[in-house]
């Protein structure tokens, strides 16, 4: 029923219970990127033609599904707010039977007039509105449209204190708190609110942010995030992650001198000094692929 990958909780970078089971964005962005890479590696001949066709069909369906149904901005939130429920037909506007009451209070004030993002998860009767790092890779891999990619970076810039703060960048926003944290994580002492995978800050993700910003012609955004990290990373002895709403404290169980923290920083710096190298790891919009996409999104969208 879904072109996206079904997934159990705790089977990705967030490797503990965080309520992201189903079809989380991070997994779909990595899946899309893997399909794009496999398509480049397969030699198109009589023996592989059916496989190439199957990959193209999955890519087309997946890109439509994410771009159309995961995207939220002020316009989309207003649309969800007026959804009618229990609609069952091909022309239903509320295809996943989402209740308007599922729009969380924080989202109404948080989303800016300019900008938007891909939500963390989507299933029948459920939308997880959390912002996640899957957005960064959706930009780098061209899972998001060019317009959506620019809006994602605009949202990061607009909500700098929330996503970057004193140490880039949040693995997800916001954190699970209070009863939600008790029920979903099972009182997980490592995933307390604004710690570890529950709204913690992970500097290893800087390289993905640098890729996305360079790809979209906005390297100054990545440089600004790198400057924030440079103020403390070395003095703090390259921690694994940071805690609190703004990433002010070294994570309470954070290991020091972590290879992936150092590598994320060095790779970001290398890409910004040599932006032409970013093309090695990014994908451009595939217009031929879009021709098979059944959505109404324009090629320039």
Tell me what pLDDT residue 296 has. Answer: 44
What is the phi-psi region of residue 134: left when phi exceeds 0, alpha when psi lies from -120 to 50, beta otherwise?
alpha
The residues pairing with 123 across neighbouring beta strands, listed in sequence order, are 126
Q: What is the CA radius of gyration of the chain?
A: 19
Structure token digits, residue 90: 């091909």
Q: Is the pLDDT of residue 295 over 60?
A: no
User: What is the pTM (predicted TM-score) of this model?
Assistant: 0.93
Tell me what pLDDT residue 75 has. Answer: 95
pLDDT tens-digit readout, 124-182: 889 999 999 999 999 999 999 999 999 999 999 999 999 999 999 999 999 999 999 99
Q: Is the pLDDT of residue 89 over 80?
A: no
C-alpha to C-alpha distance for 139 and 115, rounded to whole angstroms: 14
Find, among 118, 55, 65, 34, the residue nearest to 289 by Cα.
Answer: 55
Residue 300 pLDDT grade (very low, low, confident, very high; cuts 50, 70, 90): very low
Lowest mean pLDDT among 1-15, 16-30, 62-76: 1-15
Tell me what pLDDT residue 293 has. Answer: 62
Tell me what pLDDT residue 44 has. Answer: 84
E strand spans, the chain: 71-72, 117-118, 121-123, 126-128, 131-132, 172-173, 242-243, 249-250
Tell me what pLDDT residue 28 has. Answer: 97
Q: Is the pLDDT of residue 2 over 60?
A: yes
Q: Is the pLDDT of residue 57 over 80?
A: yes
Q: Is the pLDDT of residue 235 over 60?
A: yes
Tell me what pLDDT residue 289 has. Answer: 74
Which are the contacts of 272, defined by CB distance < 8 A and separation ≥ 6? 210, 214, 219, 222, 223, 226
Q: Is the pLDDT of residue 220 over 80?
A: yes
Q: Is the pLDDT of residue 301 over 60?
A: no
Backbone phi, psi, residue 107, to 5°:
-65, -35
Tell me what pLDDT residue 59 has. Answer: 95
pLDDT tens-digit readout, 240-262: 999 999 999 999 999 999 999 99
Residue 90 pLDDT grade (very low, low, confident, very high; cuts 50, 70, 90): confident
Tell me what pLDDT residue 30 has. Answer: 96
Tell me what pLDDT residue 93 has. Answer: 81
What is the residue-averaged pLDDT of the chain? 93
Which are the contacts of 80, defined by CB distance < 8 A and separation ≥ 6? 72, 98, 100, 103, 127
Q: Is the pLDDT of residue 294 over 60?
A: no
């Amino acid at each position: 029923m879904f072109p996206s990958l079904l997934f159990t909780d705790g089977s990705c970078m967030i490797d503990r219970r965080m309520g992201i089971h189903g079809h989380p964005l991070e997994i779909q962005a990595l899946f899309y990127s893997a399909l794009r890479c496999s398509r480049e590696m397969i030699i198109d001949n009589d023996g592989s033609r059916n496989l190439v066709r199957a990959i193209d069909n999955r890519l087309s369906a997946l890109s439509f599904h994410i771009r159309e149904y995961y995207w939220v901005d002020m316009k989309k939130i207003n649309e969800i707010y007026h959804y009618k429920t229990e609609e069952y037909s091909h022309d239903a506007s509320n295809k996943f039977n989402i209740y308007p009451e599922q729009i969380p209070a924080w989202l109404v004030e948080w989303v800016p007039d300019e900008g938007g993002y891909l939500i963390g998860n989507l299933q029948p009767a459920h939308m997880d509105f959390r912002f996640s790092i899957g957005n960064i890779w959706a930009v780098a891999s061209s899972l998001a449209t060019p317009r959506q990619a620019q809006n994602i970076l605009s949202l990061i810039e607009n909500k700098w204190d929330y996503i970057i703060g004193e140490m880039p960048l949040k693995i997800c926003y916001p954190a699970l708190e209070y009863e939600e944290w008790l029920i979903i994580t099972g009182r997980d002492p490592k995933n307390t609110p604004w710690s570890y995978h529950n709204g913690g800050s992970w500097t290893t993700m800087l390289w993905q942010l640098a890729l996305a910003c360079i790809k979209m012609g906005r390297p100054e955004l990545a440089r600004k995030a790198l400057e924030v990290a440079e103020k403390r990373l070395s003095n703090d002895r390259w921690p694994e992650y940071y805690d609190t709403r703004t990433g002010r404290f070294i994570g309470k169980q954070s290991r020091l001198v972590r290879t992936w923290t150092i590598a994320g920083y060095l790779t970001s710096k290398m890409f910004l000094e040599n932006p032409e190298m970013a093309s090695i790891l990014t994908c451009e919009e595939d217009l031929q692929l879009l021709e098979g996409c059944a959505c109404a999104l324009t090629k320039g969208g």
